[in-house]
Amino acid sequence: MGFIIRSVFWLSLVLLLVPIGGNDEGAADTVGPVEAFVAARGAIGDISGMCERQPEVCEIGKSAIYTIGVRAREGARMAMAAIEDDGARPDAELTTGSVPASE
């Protein structure tokens, strides 16, 4: 979750700095990059305090991240095993189970 928050923060900052067409003459209140940066830091500080206000949300988030990590490692292990097995047998053919192998 921290990665997502940091990504959104930096993407927002980049979008404020990059001039994107349009004319700002009709805009009533414009926000400069410095003000946006200060506001974003305050928002991130508030979000990081969420674990103090609602510890169960953080516990569930930690469990979810752990589960995703375990599944990613297992998937990577399976992929590496498949690559190593197929590399050792150059005549290996792919079988999907839904389409009969051509002979």
Q: What is the pTM of this model?
A: 0.40
Q: How confident is the model at residue 8 (pLDDT cuts 50, 70, 90)?
A: confident
Q: What is the pLDDT of residues 63-95, one digit of tens each?
A: 888 888 888 899 889 888 888 875 555 555 656
Handedness of CA 60, 66, 69, 74 (dihedral sign): negative
**Measured between alpha carbons, how far is 76 from 82 in angstroms, rounded to an integer?**
10
> Which token pair is 43?
């928002």
Q: In which element (H, E) is residue 68 found?
A: helix 55-88
Q: Which helix (H) or strand (E) covers residue 54, if one does?
A: none
With pLDDT > 90 as the criterion, what percentage of the chain qualifies? 0
Which whole-number Å values give the CA distances from 59 to 54, 55, 86, in the listed order?
9, 6, 41
